[in-house]
Chain A
Amino acid sequence: MLALLARRAGFSALSLVLVTSCLFILTRAIPDSPARIVLGQDVSQVQLSQFEHDHGLDRPVVVQYADWLENLLVHGDLGRSFITGRPVGPDIASSLPVTLELVVVAFVFSCVLSILAGTLSALLRDTAMDYGVRLIAVLGVSIPGFWLALVLIMALAVDRDWFPPGGVIPWSSGFTDHLNSIVLPTFCLAIFYMAVLSRMTRSSMLEVMGQDYIRTARATGLPGWRVLLYALKNALVPVVTVAGMSFGYMFGWALVIESVFNINGLSRALLTAIQQRDFVLVQGVVMVFTFIFILANLVADVTNVWLNPRMAALAA
């Protein structure tokens, strides 16, 4: 296990360096200078050059990257936003919890429901329950998230007044209020992955339930729930791998959800930063997302080793 973690840590560090360096090159390749946005439409070449000099944009990309990396590793400083002039670290720290909460709640929601629904669907194969779960899964995969979000806003927030149409009400305004405000966005975020994971759980369970060791377990007279647990533990290995990836992907989906629900989270901040050519903020946000993605996959790998200890030997 330790060898696995050590290898993963090394791989993660390398991934972070690769992602951030690629991002640096890509953002600097964009022809529009942020100076034109910050200084206005009538920026002269002198003003533009001065701005780029002040912000180090006139130096070679490699030097800029090395400086950025040094500031990050030595001082924990992600740099200052071109647009607001403020350090991006605190801005990321203030908007990350909203996105993280949406994603975590949506992830837990989709995992619990999909495992439950997928298992039931497999156990009650070709029954009304199975057909129902499969239909919902097909719909969940097929319906575009932004469209579903708009329909739910109109139906449940505007016409019915059951939920606020957007924004996230802070915890300080009340626990119930807060939970109500995240129901629609988390549902819209979760539904796609719930569909994917439930189908995967179903097919994996069907495969495992047909294995010899399950038949043997039954033949030994083990209670049904015990057999089910054995089967589920093995069936979950591919589901956990996909779930780990899904957790990372959800931060990408959150961009759409945060835009539609007008939630001031980190994904929306990334979109605005891209539009405003605020490279420093883009770098900071992408680095945080990459880190989370890598961490989620690491957790998935560790969980798989726990579910199936033979995988530790394979990974080593």
Chain B
Amino acid sequence: MTTQAPKEPPAMTHGLTRRSGMLAAAASVLSSSWIRTARADETGTLTVALSTNPVTCDPINMGSHDWEIISESIFENLVEFDIEGNLKPQLAKTLPEISADALVYTFDLRDDVLFHDGTPLTSEDVKYSLEYTIDPANKASRGPIFNRLSHVETEGPHRLHVHLKVPFAPWTAFLTKFMGVFPKGSREKYGPDYFRLSPKGVGTGPGMFEEWKPNDYISLRRNPHYWRKGVPSWERLVVKIIPEDATRVAFLLGGQADIIGAPPAREFSRLKTRKGIQGAAIPTFGGWTVMFQNPSQPPFDDLQFRKAIQHAVDRKTIAEKIYFGLVEPSGIPAPASSWWYDKEADDMTAYNLDIARQYLAKSRYPNGTEFDMEVSSEPYLLDSKDAAVFLQSELAKLNIKVNLRMSSSQIVQTHVMGGTYQSAMANFMSPGEATYFLMAAFTANSFMSKVNGSIEDPEVVAALKIIFAEPDQAKQKPVYTKLMRHLAETSYFTWIGYFAAANLWRDRVKNFKPSRGLTINVYDVSVT
């Protein structure tokens, strides 16, 4: 239970009578003490309210970008993205030296890092962590992302060389979200449930696991031996689970939460100007709102039908009227502000009901059809329900009936990832670079292969191969241009746009900004 210091009594605006005085005295007895205990703690507890329920604290199995606030505060990596989206060293002293053939990455580790149990970090721990993650026998859900890594060699206690099987430039970007360094032998010593439920003593981050109260909160304590001196400023981090939008906002306004995730888009502009509240949104390069379609199942196995859907989606209206500017419309897997965006490809998916009808007439469903669309009942990153209802009404104009199926975000995710879905309106987050989703969804044996009906698109695979081996952005650009046009043409999925990282927080929270990586970053946050 969170607490807060007493609030200043409201100023008297009326003359004080005996009756009003007695009432005021009674009210103060009744109210002042509970206001103290009801509100966020003044003594250094930072309370963050999120909309979803966690299932794990383990970074190598983490599926929720919301809850990476916990895994990223307990565990650290060789490198990290800062809140502006810049890659910088974390447990490594500097960014890696890369061999000429782009197959060996050399890292020098900091020598002042201690695990939460007091043991010093060495290169053996990093080697163990990486090799544990990529070993298929350990079934880490994030392991396949790193399956192009071969092995790790250590050179003394603070130097290591990571060997790749093939050039794979984005792997360091993936480290920041989907990996964590833990002590050598810790997995065998403690077992998987330990990392999932109560990872005490096995991280190096600013927060040390304290407690997980199911359905209520997860709390961390400040790591007093954290290598960045003076960080964190908070004594305790409490991450509360508050699925209801209105309740989450009420907790913020009432002072029971300091920062909230997934603010309701409709209210965001109004709330951020409210006294005592601050808010900001920052564009991300990896947060999509998308209509996933299973191209291995009817009606989405019909290219003409998929193209009809593409042109029937009014992305601009969805971005402006439903997401209230928190989404930047884009019909391709590239935000309009990114360097890999291609306008011509985006235009190939432009909203035009006449063109949509033409494609529908050429499809196997000239008179329309129906399909199921799964929607998360609680907002994950942003609330998709309104957008799904809008799409339902839009597609009805083409005589396409959309049956909305509401489930929890975890269930929707498992259906989508498992390929056992027809379509789903979802929000998806990847690191702020271009290849993650394409690699995951369009290459064989990847963790998201089933999303795309296990269809391996050779053009995408060929383009990715070039991109992985080519460090020069200028030379990558034409490859991306061709790739984006190909994806617009094949219309595997209906991309709606890229959303901003948006948060609301109270004035007492200092040094906080929404992160381009979307997960709330509280390393440098303090509470007054």
Contacts and interface: CB of A to CB of B under 8 A. Distances in A.
Interface in B402-426: 407-408, 410-411, 413-415, 417-418, 420
Interface string A234-272: 000000000000000000000000011110100011001
A277 B411 CA distance: 9
Contacts of B214: 81, 83-84, 91, 269, 272
A89 interface: no
Contact of A262 (B56, B144, B242, B414): B242
Interface of B: 1, 3, 7, 29-31, 33-35, 37-39, 53, 55-56, 61, 63, 139, 141, 143-144, 193, 196-197, 212-216, 240, 242-244, 246-247, 250-251, 253-254, 256, 377, 407-408, 410-411, 413-415, 417-418, 420, 447-448
Contacts of B197: 84-85
Contacts of B242: 166, 262
Contact of B256 (A150, A165, A275): A165
B408 A180 contact: no
A95 B214 CA distance: 10
Contacts of B212: 84
A301 to B, nearest CB: 34
B34 A41 contact: no
Given A31-B420, A276-B410, 18 more contacts: A36-B414, A37-B55, A38-B55, A39-B139, A44-B139, A161-B35, A161-B254, A165-B254, A167-B1, A169-B1, A169-B37, A170-B1, A173-B3, A180-B30, A180-B34, A259-B244, A262-B244, A272-B53
Contacts of B1: 167, 169-170, 173
Given A259-B243, A261-B247, A276-B55, A177 B139 contact: no
Nearest to B377: A275
Contacts of B251: 165-167, 262
B216 A166 contact: no
B141 A40 contact: yes
A47 B139 contact: yes
Contacts of A39: 61, 139, 141
Top 4 closest A-B pairs, CB basis? Answer: A40-B141, A177-B34, A41-B417, A275-B408
A95 B216 CA distance: 11
Nearest to A170: B1
Contact of B410 (A37, A95, A268, A269): A37
Nearest to A94: B213
Given A40-B61, A180-B31, A181-B38, A166 B250 contact: yes
A36 B346 CA distance: 35
Contacts of B246: 150, 153, 260
25 contacts: A32-B414, A32-B415, A37-B410, A38-B55, A39-B139, A40-B63, A42-B144, A43-B141, A164-B35, A164-B39, A165-B250, A165-B251, A165-B254, A166-B251, A169-B34, A173-B3, A174-B33, A176-B30, A176-B33, A177-B34, A181-B38, A259-B243, A260-B244, A262-B251, A275-B407
A13 interface: no
A146 B93 CA distance: 53
Nearest to A174: B33
A56 B325 CA distance: 49
A154 interface: yes
A40 B213 CA distance: 21
A169 B447 CA distance: 43
A28 to B, nearest CB: 16
Contacts of A38: 55
Interface in A90-118: 91, 95
Contacts of A42: 141, 143-144, 417, 447
B83 to A, nearest CB: 26
A161 B141 CA distance: 45
A41 B37 contact: no
A162 interface: yes
Contact of A164 (B34, B56, B407): B34
Contacts of B29: 176
A136 interface: no
A44 B417 CA distance: 11
A145 to B, nearest CB: 13
A137 to B, nearest CB: 27
B261 to A, nearest CB: 14
B34 A176 contact: yes
B31 A162 contact: yes
Given A36-B418, A42-B447, A164 B141 contact: no
A157 interface: yes
B20 to A, nearest CB: 16
A158 interface: yes
A95 B244 CA distance: 19
B38 A41 contact: no
Contacts of B240: 262
A262 B37 contact: no
A220 B215 CA distance: 62
A32 B411 contact: yes
Interface string A133-175: 0000000000000000010011001100110111101100110
Interface in A2-31: 31
Contact of B37 (A85, A162, A174): A174
Nearest to A157: B254
A176 B34 CA distance: 7
Pick from A31, A91, A261, A272 the residue with the most CB of B within 10 Å.
A272
Given A42-B144, A276-B408, A37 B414 contact: yes
A30 to B, nearest CB: 10
A268 B215 contact: yes
Looking at B53, B215, B413, which has the most chain A CB atoms within 10 Å of its CB? B215
Contacts of A84: 197, 212, 214
A177 B407 CA distance: 36
B13 to A, nearest CB: 15
A262 B50 CA distance: 12
A169 B33 CA distance: 11
Contacts of A41: 63, 141, 413-414, 417-418, 447-448
A275 B408 CA distance: 6
Contacts of A167: 1, 38, 251, 256
Contacts of A277: 411
Contact of A275 (B31, B247, B410): B410
Contacts of A180: 30-31, 34
